[in-house]
Chain A
Amino acid sequence: QDAKPLVVFVSPNPVGVNDFLKLAKAGTEKAAEAAGATAKIYESTDPTTIRQNLDAAAKEGAKVVIAVGFEFNDVLPEVAKAYPDTKFLLVDSCPQTPVANIYCSVFREYEASFLAGAVAGLTSETGKVGAIGALDIPFIHRYTDAFAEGAKHVKPEIEIAPTLWIGGNNPFSDPARGQQRASIMVSDNTDRIMAGGAGSNGGIFKAMEDLPGAAAFGVDSNQCPQAPGLVMDNVQKRTDIVIEKGVAGLFKGDQPAFATYGLAEGGMTLTSLEPGIEDSGCLIAKFPDVIAKVKALRDEVVAGTVKVADPMQLAK
């Protein structure tokens, strides 16, 4: 038996399909290091393998099992009940009925998307902005709808293009379809586009070339270097921070059963709000005045003076 405690990250999809999971992986590794533990990554592809991986992780004697995504909602409570001594950190989702050894950490993505929309509104030259999502599911509306709301908030007269969805066989990994949709949007004079297409985002960025001055917004991590000059800013979901905090809390024993992360907690942010924006490769670096305005808006959201509605209206 290894003397070091074990931390396992079970991913719902192969890591790297989106940057979001890459961050989770990085977060797991850092958290394990901080706790003096060994980190392992188990990649799943579907509910059956998710279950297998959770089982395998618990059987391996993991102290903390990190699960990221909605995909775990149904399975985790069952597995958690079977392994009461293992602690499960569920990131980005939470089962409807609480389980003693499941600790949830969820995001308020819409807050950062709202700010991204504000950036779009403030920088758009054509006066038309829009969003592209991978799939038309409520969860992704947190990006697309809040983005539009943010733009409207700073510029009520702004025109919002109808949201397009990538769909197809492979919505999260079909850059060609992303490109096609974005290029249609751009040809309609939409010059700020929220790219909520995960692995398809590269195509969306590429389409920005069609219209001089057009720019997209990346998600999850800083995607600006991927397509220099075409990405304005990113809605960053700091899964790494959330996991680091969560694992630390679990090792210490003071992790709450339910935690949400938004702008206030540093779980959601824009690249422009973080240090190092000059070297980020993002276009927003050229708009210090906009950054200032958005920072102010962020403070208002944090303070609660500006309320951002959650587009994902879940029935309880």
Chain B
Amino acid sequence: MSTIELEATGIVKRYGPLVANDQIDLSVLRGEVHAVMGENGAGKSTLMSILYGMQTPDAGRIVLRGTEMHYRSALDAIGAGMGMVHQAFKLFNSLTVWENVVYGMEPTRFGFIDRREAAKRVAALAERYSLRVDPNAIVGQLSVGVRQRVEILKALYRDARVLILDEPTAVLTPQERDGLFDIIRNLTADDRTILFVTHKLHEVMAITDRVTVLRDGKVVDRMVTSETSAREIIRAMTGRAVNLTVEKSPGNPGAVVLEARGLTVATDGGKPVVDHVDLSIRAGEIVGIAGVAGNGQTELIEALTGLRIPDGGTVSIHGTDVTALDVERHRDAGLAYIPEDRATTGTALAASAADNLAMGFQRKPPLSNGRLLDGNAVTAHAKRLIEKFGVKIGSEQLAVGTLSGGNLQKVVVARELSHAAPLLIAEQPTRGVDVGAIEFIHGQLVAERDRGSAVLLVSAELTEILALSDRVLVMFDGRILAELPAAEADEETLGLLMAGRVRDAHLDGTEAA
């Protein structure tokens, strides 16, 4: 296992004045799992898209199995045996699994797609690498874990020798993640090579053979996994030590702030996506909702925040029934809300930071008298928040569209925390954000709790749930499957519950709903 499969030397990629990749050298051995790590904006995705032929480097060479490559498009890279599973899946939700897999390389008969042959080939491939998936299922109806298998199938269908996985575990349960690791081992056993991009250190430690660390577009370190530690990797990434554990005192729960009873959200015809959910959050506690994406969390939060009218049940904030009220009234009743998608819900990318930070306050003093907006107050408010939360932006009049993920998230967090609202709902508050920003946001959430707010945290990230929550709810298939005190929650139990396996989770002493 010492043949070089892929070698990139002197890769440079500039975006205007910004050098996203600066003389990067990367060497990957055949059959290894090679991690590429770095903070947000370090240049990982840029490097991967260059290796995959989606972008042309400004300088540098790529040598694949001894041959120098000159990709004109991803098609050339695919042809040369590269495959990539993107962080956000590149799948067609309305199409079937086999259609997604053969897309662009369809088997044909008389010019028509040979549907039977296509499905057969996909099934055979799935069989061979134990990727359990029904070729005729519609992708949009599959769970995230299965969709990822479809992505891997796509690459294997094109006989990918090198597979790039960009943050592949961000949306998986621990069990699904372990399943993925099994698949990765199957693949490497077959002499295929894996490039693994992630922010999660324990995964790097668990599955990879070697690590290349990027910072500001440069390679800052190369390590052999078995000879290093998580702490060292972080230091390489950030240039400092980062505190991974959240310091927090035991909670001090007070009165009930948010209460939902029998909350139900129906779908057209099918079974409810939120099915008679009861929950209550008290002042001064953080309640975490764990669950795999797609189990009704999004709809539950929409119903709790007034973005959606529930089909049944009630929601009250501080005893006020807000079930049928709109978002504005929810906010009036004391809601602050960090939405899961900062770019499409949490901000208007084309609007200035000042406008973004004013949202939600626009009808209240000091920003307005309810009808007329006070431009000076809006500016002052924005300046104060940018300063306080250290948002890296030139001026409050600039559009936020160019901010990095972490900075954009800070804009959202800053705005919502400045409400000093008694109730904070935080949905995936650190998704795709680097460790430095995670540390900061986690600190803010705990401070919010200590100030006496009720905090509802929804996250697919178990480490986050475990680090922050005083109580943990597990959501599966539209229902709250279990409720555990923080002390009794651990990764394995939660993982099993998130997969709906109550029986295996050995819930002694805790209530299973």
> Are chains A and B touching in the complex at the 8 Å CB cutoff?
no
Q: Footprint of A on B, CB under 8 Å?
A: none
Q: Footprint of B on A, CB under 8 Å?
A: none
